[in-house]
Each structure stands twice: as structure tokens, then as C-alpha cells.
A and B are shown apart, each in its own frame.
Chain A
Amino acid sequence: MVDLSFLEKFTKGNIPKMKRYISMYLNTAPDSFQKMQQNIEDKSWAELAINAHSLKPQAEFMGISSLKEALIEIEDKVKETRVNDLNIVFERAKSIHKESEIFLQHFMDKS
């Protein structure tokens, strides 16, 4: 689910630097999910798309491609006003995030 090869290449294997980036992601991503949750409850679709959009590159840098795809799906559904099942896609994105968070935290602890 998480492929750190880009980050490893980007940092030339510098573990403290990788950890700094991962830590930044771990500190900001939960806030994005909280905002998206609120957007869904408020039916603020445009804001939901903006929040999903903003998290997309970070998911890519962390090598969480399934999360990136789910975020694209959220954006597309908002764009095409297919909002009925947005909650299902959001829950999938949240679950991917939770799993990847455990993986990344494990990397932080062991390295």
C-alpha cells in the first residue's frame, strides 16, 4: 500500500530527511481528513474537492497510490455532480489513510 521508493530516491536514502517529510505528512493529513469529513456532513462539495485536491500530491510523494486514486475519484465525482456515493469513496480513502498511517508510523519508529 505504501511505496517509499520515491522518497528514498528523492532523499538519496537520507533517513532523517525521509522521516522529516513523513512526519510533516503525518502531522497534516489527519487535519485534511477531518476537514473532508466536515465537508461531507455540510454537503460542501466544492470545498471537499479542494481538500481532496490538496492532499493528492502529498499522497503521491508518500507513495500511497491507492489514496491518490481515491482522492481523484472524489474530485471527479464532485466535478460530475455524482455526489450520492461520495461517502463510500471518502470512507475508502480514510481507511487507506489509516492503514498507511500505521505503516509510516512503524517506519518512523524502527528507522
Chain B
Amino acid sequence: MKNQKPKIFIVDDEPLLSEMLSDYLNEQYLGFKIKSFATGEACLERLHENPDAVVLDYYLNSKEKDASNGIDILKEIKKQNKNLPVIMLSSQKSYSTASQTIMFGAVHYVIKGQDAFSEIYELIKANV
């Protein structure tokens, strides 16, 4: 990692995944500064804090029906900072969904599952 204290934003409306991912990343590298958000809107409000990477769930409206979906948040993040690495998360094994997120600027599309944690860590290391 080029950055010794990378700031990572995790955006997921499922608290269990956010908590597990946050714990996992902190165990791999103590220098991470991690912030979790339950909605994309909350993440956008803090984008001025200049995170080094964003881990963003594709489905963000299972809890709050009015919340924007991950793809809309991805577009907005890219509009504000096109160089910010965004790793998309989903439990949907779909080529079209994955390619759609890549098309809108995500660096990678990770399937939520037991291997997701190490994959996300490797992707963060490679991109910050």
C-alpha cells in the first residue's frame, strides 16, 4: 500500500457484513481508518473526507425503500471523484450486473460470501 493510513468507507445496509468486514480489515492491517454507512446517501455526505477506497453494496434499499441503489451511488461518487477506487459488493452472481458496475467505474465486483473478506482486502491493498 502506498498510503500508510488509508481511509476506507464501507457502505452496506446489512450491519453484520459491515461489522465482519470492518473487523477483518482491522485485523489484517492496523493502519486502516474505517467508517461504515448504512446508506449511500450517508456516504455521499462524508465524501469530502476523502476516503482512499469505498466498498459499496449493490443493493442498498432492502431496509430503506427510498434509499438510492448502489449503482446510483457509484455514479455519484465517480461524478465527484473519478479516481476514487470503488469495490462493488453483491450476493448476485450475475455477469451483466458485474459488467454494469465496471462500466460505471468500479474497480471490481465481489460476490458476498465467505471468500469476500480476503478478496476485498487484496483489492484494497492493490488500489490504495
User: Interface on A for B, CB 8 Å cutoff?
Assistant: 6, 10, 17, 20-21, 24-25, 28, 50-51, 53-54, 56-58, 60-61
Contact = CB atoms under 8 A, between A and B. Distances in A.
B20 A61 contact: yes
Contacts of A50: 59, 61-62
A28 B62 CA distance: 12
B24 to A, nearest CB: 7
B16 interface: yes
Contacts, number: 48
A60 B62 contact: no
- If over half of A's interface residues share one DSSP class (helix, strand or loop), that class is named, otherwise mixed; here it is helix
A53 B16 contact: no
Chain B interface size, under 10 / 10 to 19 / 20 to 34 / 35 or more: 10 to 19
Given A17-B23, A21-B19, A57 B59 contact: no
27 contacts: A6-B114, A10-B24, A10-B117, A20-B19, A21-B16, A21-B19, A24-B15, A28-B14, A28-B15, A28-B16, A50-B59, A51-B62, A53-B62, A53-B92, A54-B13, A54-B59, A54-B91, A57-B14, A57-B17, A57-B112, A57-B113, A57-B116, A58-B16, A58-B17, A60-B114, A61-B17, A61-B114
Nearest to A60: B113
Contacts of B92: 53
Contact of A25 (B13, B16, B113): B16
Interface string B6-35: 000000011111011001100000000000
